[in-house]
Amino acid sequence: MGKVGVVMCPCELEGMTLFDPEVLVEGLKGRKDVLPLIHHQPVCSESGVEAIRAFMEGNGLDRVVMACSKPELFGPTFKKALRQWGLNPSLSGVLGIRPTAERKGSDDLQEALHVIEEGIDEIKRRKPAKGEKTPFVKRAMVIGGGITGITASIDLGNGGYEVLLVDRLPSIGGRMLQLSETFPTLDCAQCTLTPKTVETGQHPHIRLITYAEIESVSGEVGNFLVKIRRKAAYVDWEKCTGCGLCQEKCPSKVPSEFERGIGPGKAIYTLSPQAVPNKPVINPEVCRYFTEGKCRVCEKVCLTDAIDYAQEDTFIEERVGAIIVATGFDLYRKEDIGEYGYGDVPDVIDGLAFERLNSASGPTAGEIRRPSDGHIPKEVVFIQCVASRDPERYMPYCSRACCMYTAKHARLYKHKVHDGHAYIFYMDIRSMGKGYEEFIQQGMEEGILYLRGRVSRLFRDNGHVVVWGADTLTGKKVEIAADMVVLATAMIPSRGAKELAEKLHIGTDEYGFLTEAQCKLYPVESGVEGIYLAGCAQGPKDIADTVAQGNAAASKVQALFAQH
Amino acid sequence: MKIEISRGKVHNEFSQKVEEISGQNLFACYQCGNCTAGCPVSFAMDLGPHQVIRYSLLGLEKEVLECNTFWMCASCLQCTSRCPKGLDIARIMEAIRLVILRKKERLDHLEVAELSEEFLERVPQIALISGFRKFTS
């Protein structure tokens, strides 16, 4: 076996100079199996790339290790260049070395040398693929069937590529399906989304794999092998016609996660009457047959014999060339917020619950009625920045969509309850989208009272929720005896996003949001070639931004496929 | 310090009267403070014009009527010409003056006949006109 080339990038901007390349090379002097290259300009420059080519060609090298400070940025370009030069990128490694502490120390240097030596050994062990190269699979997988995943899937499908759309819920639509109306146009969310979900379901190039989770992922760009667990629905979807009789007759009434706990659901359910696919699943945790051993009503009423209590999880293996991760968000649990009553104060709900309350397909058919006694609330307090922008106790970041959706909530509330009063506690109003500021101003002029300050405490008193806040514009403490309180809680990554990221070998930040290769220039690329990110899985954002990212990720995948 | 906010208090009769007389929507105010920043007499005011608007919106009638802001206002219209929301702040000040003037129980009422001739000779005409307006209507 020939020597392994080692390229040290001397980038001065990103802290690489903290390790003098010459010192690093000195540290590798003992190894006879490496050939180092020191180029005195950053290797990502034109001359740098040319120098690597000359170095590889001149020395007849086919294996190379690159050490730089930002592997996620230069890595893909480097591998592409190797491919162009007729070399096998799988015999190359791009290593990230950067000082762990504030400034270089000898420990850091040793650590960096260790990383480089391990990288060299790893590349030496690699075997070039035998014979023909494995074919590049030009089909994509989209993980997450919310509006982002739907958007990306339709784009890719329209581009002529086969798409596998995986969602862990029984049907696609994601969070947007829970919304009543969307800002700034106040379009009905379902009316705008349903055509998209139907298009996805009927698209000749899109295959839905719902009620499924990713079990494991291996391989690399062009040839990922994904193992998917299809959860047992206890309903044979081949036989089921989606008539809905089973849901109608199911005797168990349980709080529904989709309805955010403010409305009942059934043990056998679909997420909405317009669900795509419109096939129900049984939740064995609440189903009477599974918990008590008797009932079987759904089985009795089913006209097509589709109920199958013995169904088990199944596993599917699929090969795809690229993956888009669009796993979306959850809301910070109000049960974890002490000052707002740990979720124990009745009539304190979160933003998504208000969406369900206001939704024509929701538990109150769109009438604003408070959960505790069904009365129409006449004074509603909306609180922004709940668990957001609170680095000491909760999340330090701004959740980006709450200013707008809170204004929307308050406006929709006033549209429905004409003699009602809406108060919004805010710290700042961030309305930087197109038409957003105008939307906020219109809400204010319609009589929503904005109070600038945080709410420090909520408690129940005589059927009211007493709100202790402040209005720093007047410098006064404010007390409101409200009928209902809506919390705009922080967006957090959806449950399991971190575990999924580990399976995909992509990074997450300290909160669990997926990290992009670079926030400005590579916003939808992950650190792994062929895996892309989009939507709220990458960070909080509103529908307009999330759709733009879905489009972007899909176009990245199409560009990737077009090269092969 | 503490204010209790409720449907009855916010945007109460007083707030609505100010809005009706001035023809301005108090809810529309940004609270940006441009009016106060540009006002040539705000240094002498108890509350800046933007604060008066905020207090009026919140229904804090007593606090508003007890401050000197709207009496200091010379209606130079600097605030009105610069308001980013197009509010006519000078009209709002005038409206608050009128709210007071229309209250009949005022104790500082002037009897014109009781003013001495010597005083009338000394006092500038404009002050007389203002004074009559403030204290006699």
Q: Read off the CATH number of the domain in which B15 is found.
A: 1.10.1060.10
| Nearest-angstrom CA–CA distance, A238 and A279 | 9
Report the number of distinct structural domains present in chain A. 4
How far is it, in rounded angstroms, from Cα A14 to Cα A55? 24
pLDDT score for A564: 85
* Contact of B89 with B30, CB cutoff 8 Å: no
Contacting residues of A for B3, CB less than 8 Å apart: 471, 474, 476-479
A302 vs B113 pLDDT, higher one: A302
Q: Give dist(CA A478, CA A423) in Å, integer.
A: 11
Per-residue model confidence as pLDDT tens digits over B59-77: 999 999 999 999 999 999 9
- Tokens 């000052």 belong to A339
Average pLDDT, chain A: 91
Q: What is the pLDDT of residues A21-49, one digit of tens each?
A: 777 788 888 888 888 887 777 777 788 88
Asked if pLDDT for residue A60 goes beyond 80, the answer is: yes
Q: Are residues B115 and B98 in the same domain?
A: no
- Distance CA(A169)–CA(A328), nearest Å, equals 12
Which tokens is A200 given?
Answer: 């996805």
Shared domain check, B132 and B95 = no
- Domain containing A266 equals 245-301
Q: DSSP alpha helices (H): ranges in chain B?
A: 13-22, 34-38, 49-57, 61-66, 69-72, 78-82, 89-101, 117-122, 125-136
Residue A134 in any domain: the answer is: no
Q: What is the pLDDT of residues A269-290, one digit of tens each?
A: 999 888 999 999 999 999 999 9
Give a yes or no: residue A488 inside a domain: yes
Looking at the structure, tell me whether residues B86 and B120 fall in a common domain: no
Work out whether strand A476-482 and strand A464-471 pair parallel, antiparallel, or are unpaired. antiparallel
Q: What percent of chain A has pLDDT over 90?
A: 71
DSSP letters, A511-535, are TSPBPPSBTTTBTTB-SSTTEEE-G
Q: Are residues B47 and B112 in the same domain?
A: no
Helix, strand, or coil (residue B47): coil
Note the pLDDT tens digit of each residue in A333-351. Answer: 999 999 998 889 989 999 9
Cβ–Cβ < 8 Å for A356, A362 = yes
pLDDT of residue A1 exceeding 80, the answer is: no
Segment A200-209 mean pLDDT:
96
**DSSP-assigned beta bridge partners for residue A142:** A165, A324
For residue A103 the two structure tokens come to 């400034």
Of A24 and B90, the structure prediction assigns the larger pLDDT to B90
Report the residue of chain A nearest B26, measured CA to CA. A445
- Kindly state whether residues B78 and B26 are assigned to the same domain: yes
- Locate the chain A residue with the closest alpha carbon to B1: A476
Contact A448 B27 (CB under 8 A): yes
**Is residue A307 included in any domain, yes or no?**
no
Domain match, A149 and A116 both: no
pLDDT at B108 over 70: no
Residue at which a domain ends, from A101, A125, A149: A125
More confident of the two residues A89 and A422: A422
A537 and A519, same domain (yes or no)? yes
What percentage of chain A's residues is helix, strand, coil (to nearest 5)? 30, 25, 45
**Do B78 and B134 fall into the same domain?**
no
Q: What total of structural domains would you count in chain B?
A: 2
Same domain, B21 and B49: yes
Alpha carbons A41 and A68: distance in angstroms, whole number? 12
Residue A297 lies in a domain: yes
More confident residue, B100 or B45: B45
Half-sphere exposure of A57 (CA within 13 A, CB side): 11
Going A373 to A374 to A378 to A383, the CA torsion angle's sign is positive
ipTM score for this prediction: 0.84
Chain A residues whose beta carbon lies within 8 Å of the beta carbon of residue B52: none
CATH number at residue A64: 3.40.50.1400
- pLDDT for res B101: 83
Does residue B86 share a domain with residue B43?
Answer: yes
Beta bridge partners of A430: none
One domain, residues A437 and A526: no
Mean pLDDT of A225-230: 97
Contact A472, A436 (CB under 8 A): no
Q: Is residue A100 part of a domain?
A: yes
A37 falls within a domain? yes
Range of the domain at B116: 107-137
Q: Are residues A183 and A281 in the same domain?
A: no
Query: Which residue in B has a C-alpha nearest to residue A420's C-alpha?
Result: B7
Say yes or no: B65 and B45 in one domain.
yes
On whether the CB atoms of residues A522 and A516 are closer than 8 A, the answer is yes
Structural domain contains residue A104: yes
Q: Are residues A196 and A88 in the same domain?
A: no
User: What tens digit of pLDDT does each residue of A130-148 get?
Assistant: 655 678 999 999 999 999 9
Query: A297 and A318 in one domain?
Result: no
pLDDT confidence of residue A84: 82
**Residue A341 near residue A458 (C-beta atoms within 8 A):** yes
**Residue A97: per-residue pLDDT:** 77
Question: Taking residues A170-192, what's their average pLDDT?
Answer: 95
Last residue of a domain, one of A450, A467, A492: A492
pLDDT at residue number A12: 60
Note whether A376 and A278 are same-domain residues: no
Please give the pLDDT value at position A129. 63
Does A285 lie in the same domain as A192? no
Asked whether residue A289 falls in the same domain as residue A152, the answer is no
- Domain membership flag for residue A372: yes
Nearest CA in chain A to B3: A478
Helices marked H in A250-322: 288-292, 297-301
Note whether A341 and A467 are same-domain residues. Answer: yes
Chain B: residues touching A (Cβ < 8 Å): 1-7, 10-11, 25, 27-28, 31, 51, 54-55, 57-58, 60, 85
Question: Which residue of A474, A477, A479, A485 to mutate against B (max B Cβ within 10 Å)?
Answer: A474
Contact between A423 and B3 using a beta-carbon 8 Å cutoff: no
> Which is nearest to B72 in space by CA: B94, B34, B44, B102?
B44
pLDDT at residue number A485: 97
Q: Give the angle subtended at the CA of A355 by the CAs of A349 and A358, to the nearest 5°.
A: 105
Q: What is the DSSP letter of B93?
A: H
| CATH number of A420's domain | 3.50.50.60
User: What is the DSSP secondary structure assignment for residue A150, as one 8-state letter?
Assistant: H
Which of A94-98, A126-130, B38-42 is the most confident on average?
B38-42
Q: Which residues contact A452 (CB under 8 A, 6 or more apart)?
A: A425, A426, A427, A471, A472, A473, B31
* Tokens of residue A449, six digits: 């009272």
If asked whether residues A351 and A476 sit together in one domain, one would say yes
CA neighbor of A325 nearest in space, from A519, A140, A139, A138: A140
Quote the pLDDT of residue A14.
53
Residues of chain A contacting B, Cβ within 8 Å: 378-379, 421, 423, 441, 444-449, 451-452, 471, 473-474, 476-481
The residue out of A125, A150, A173 marking a domain boundary is A125
Residues B112 and B99 in one domain: no
pLDDT, tens digit (0-9, with 9 covering 90-100), for A452-496: 999 999 999 999 999 999 999 999 999 999 999 999 999 999 999
A354 pLDDT more than 60: yes
**Interchain pair A476, B4: CB under 8 A:** no
Clarify whether residues B83 and B128 are in a common domain.
no
Chain A residue with the nearest C-alpha to that of B10 = A449
Residues A336 and A485 in one domain: yes
Q: What is the DSSP string of A448-513?
A: -EEEES---EEEEETTEEEEEEEETTTTEEEEEEESEEEEEEPEEEPTTHHHHHHHHT--B-TTSP
> In which order are the strands placed within the sheet that holds A379-386?
A348-350, A484-489, A379-386, A421-426, A449-452
Q: What is the dihedral of CA A284, A288, A292, A297, to 10 degrees?
A: -120
The count of CB pairs under 8 A between chains A and B is 55
B11 plus B29 within the same structural domain = yes
